[in-house]
Amino acid sequence: MEDKIRVLLTEEEVDEKIKQLGLKISEDYAGRSVHLICVLKGGAFFMCELAKRITVPVSMDFMSVSSYGNGTATSGAVKIIKDLDEPIEDKDVLIVEDIIDSGTTLHYLTEILYKRKPASIRICTLLDKPERRTADVKVDYVGFNIPDEFVVGYGLDYAQKYRNLPYIGVVEVDK
């Protein structure tokens, strides 16, 4: 069965926004390098595109945490599925996320990463649903604030589908 998907942000809009974010990050980190941490799997598409737009030296690492099951509702639990390959001590870390919803994942993740004594930690997310926030997180770079709807594409999935869509869409659930 095919789900109906309504376009929320076009490929052009997303690409343009990532260009702007890359510029801003390059300015903010001028004279330093930035260590990007991708939250798998959703953040991968965004991080690769963003990295290409950053002009200061970039290094990258990947991490996977669980927060959601195969549905659209939160389970509340978060645990590390795959840890970073490299230490982050003294590095200027920029966590790259696809979307911030309740904020639980990022709240938990920054707490763990701060214990590893990085020089700094900032957060960059392509999408933010500020209405849904229940956990305390300070987000430094936001691509788009979006309404409380379940979105897919550009790395975001619905039951592991649609990550490869080049735009952001809303799954229209039949009622």
Report how far apart, in Å, the C-alpha atoms of 100 and of each of 24, 39, 56, 87, 91 are. 20, 11, 25, 25, 23
Stretch that binds Mg ion, among 28-36, 37-45, 122-130, 138-146 (CB under 5 A): 37-45
Tell me if residue 101 is catalytic. yes
Q: How far is the CB of 101 from Mg ion (least distance, A)?
A: 9
Q: What are phi and psi of 42, to 5 degrees?
A: -55, -35
Question: Among the options 61, 92, 98, 101, which is catalytic?
Answer: 101
- Does the footprint of Mg ion cover residue 42 (CB under 5 A)? yes
- Does the footprint of ligand IMP cover residue 67 (CB under 6 A)? yes
How far apart are alpha carbons 175 and 168 in whole angstroms?
22
Number of residues that bind Mg ion (CB under 5 A): 3
Q: How far is the CB of 117 from ligand IMP (least distance, A)?
A: 24
- Does the footprint of ligand IMP cover residue 99 (CB under 6 A)? yes
Per DSSP, what are the bridge partners of residue 120?
92
Q: Which of 6-18 are b and which e, b meaning 16 or more Cβ less than 10 Å from the residue's Cβ? A: eebbeeeebeebb
Contact residues: ligand IMP, CB under 6 A = 42, 67-68, 74, 97-105, 150-151, 156
Residues contributing to the site for Mg ion (CB under 5 A) = 39, 42, 98
